[in-house]
Structure 1
């Protein structure tokens, strides 16, 4: 399923935080959203998963305006892993992930065999299959992150929208999650702070600065020393990763950024 942002404007407190963004994630593509803090990444994603209403512009799924779709239909097509999350302390892990099946159920219907199978499969995919009966409140931050990703996967969406999905994860689980994103077939729009992770997992990168899109393209074309200096204010060299050939950014941690 093709995801397109058409001249998207999103305002907070009367001020455009996202201004005139045009962006496309083709079917099955992983599109990365990068930029410094305050550049508008999370605000843009909130508009995509309908937490915020755009001031102008549209979010299109295969050419259909997302805001015109009934909520259940939209949820069957698009699942999100946002940064802001309810705690839901009383739920078990299985129950938490099972919430992802609600868009596929009729009102007040009990879980079907398919619902239970998809819930179990999603937990296995994130390495949490052995924790189904634990309370969500008992989990570490990284474990919660993986459970919430499983909830999104249980929706069986055509489109995934992920805001910093590697937060709280140790390095092994970061690698596993990024490999999972590469292996799954959903169109994905993901915001990442880790530029090397973005270079590794994303087919295309879109760079936000001051709420505007300033660069788009394959990682090796976008991630240049000049762009890193201009957008992020850092001194860096971009080389080829010795294991994968992906762009690898080496930052100068000794020289303070210029004011």
Structure 2
């Protein structure tokens, strides 16, 4: 399912945090949002999973305005792993993941065999099947992150929205999560601070700065030394990963003294506009 974000404005606490954002997440592709802290990535994603209402513009799911769908229907299409985490749920791991089946059931209905199978499969996919009977509150931060991802997978959505999903995960589980996203090939909108992870997993990147989308395109075209200096304020070389062939960013940690990025950087001329690499699917 394709996602179109059209001329999106988002205001929070009386301040505009996203202004005129336009981007596409093509069906079956992994679309990444990158940018400095405070650039508007999380606020934009929150409009897609309906945590925030846009001040202007709209989010389209397969051409239908998201706000025209009921919450239950939109929850069958879009599942989220937000940065703001659920409280200390006094539930077992299995019970937390089973909450992902809620959009498909009537109120207070018990899980059926299909729900149980989907829940078990989601736990296996994130490597938490052995912890199904443990209390969610007893888990580490990384374990909780994987359980909440399993809950999103149990929703069986057309679109996954993931806001910094590798937070709290060790290197092995970060790698496993990125491999899972690649293998599933579900339409995915994901924000990532780790630019090398973004280069490895994303089909297309949208760079945000000061609330605007300032560059869009495949990682190899977007992640240039000039853009990294201008938007992120770092000196870096972009080389080929020796194992995968993906772009690999090598930062200059010895000379970090680049001036701060301007509040509204120039749009790099060689980067394609914010449309799908595979066309208007």
| TM superposition score normalised by structure 1 | 0.99
Does residue 1:70 correspond to 2:70, yes or no?
yes
Q: Which residue of 2 aligns with 1:45?
A: 45
Instruction: Single out whichever of 69-78 and 103-112 deviates more from structure 2.
Output: 103-112
CA distance in 2 between counterparts of 1:85 and 1:175 reads: 22
Q: Which residue of 1 aligns with 2:57?
A: 57
CA distance in 1 between counterparts of 2:185 and 2:102 reads: 21
Q: Which residue of 1 aligns with 2:244?
A: 244
CA distance in 2 between counterparts of 1:68 and 1:89 reads: 31
CA distance in 2 between counterparts of 1:107 and 1:46 reads: 25
Contact 1:33 1:207 in 2 (8 A): yes
Q: Deviations over 1:128-182 (max 9, x none)?
A: 0010000000000100000000000000000000000000000000000000000
Structure 2 portions without partners, runs of 5+: 260-281
Q: CA deviation at 1:47?
A: 1.1
Contact 1:5 1:58 in 2 (8 A): yes
Contact 2:30 2:185 in 1 (8 A): no
SS of corresponding position for 2:177 = helix
Q: Deviations over 1:205-237 (max 9, x none)?
A: 000000000000000000000000000000000
What are the within-5 Å matches in structure 2 for residues 185-204 of structure 1?
185-204=185-204
Structure 1 portions without partners, runs of 5+: none
Contact 2:237 2:250 in 1 (8 A): yes
What are the within-5 Å matches in structure 2 for residues 1-259 of structure 1?
1-259=1-259
CA distance in 2 between counterparts of 1:2 and 1:89 reads: 33
SS of corresponding position for 1:152 = helix
SS of corresponding position for 1:243 = coil
Q: CA deviation at 1:68?
A: 1.1
CA distance in 1 between counterparts of 2:242 and 2:120 reads: 37
Contact 2:229 2:258 in 1 (8 A): no
Contact 1:3 1:61 in 2 (8 A): yes
Q: CA deviation at 1:258?
A: 2.4
CA distance in 2 between counterparts of 1:44 and 1:144 reads: 24
CA distance in 1 between counterparts of 2:38 and 2:121 reads: 36
Q: CA deviation at 1:89?
A: 2.9
| TM superposition score normalised by structure 2 | 0.91
Q: CA deviation at 1:109?
A: 1.2
Q: Which residue of 1 aligns with 2:271?
A: none
Query: What is the aligned length?
Result: 259
Instruction: Single out whichever of 103-112 and 236-245 deviates more from structure 2.
Output: 103-112
SS of corresponding position for 1:134 = coil
CA distance in 2 between counterparts of 1:51 and 1:61 reads: 16
CA-based RMSD? 0.7
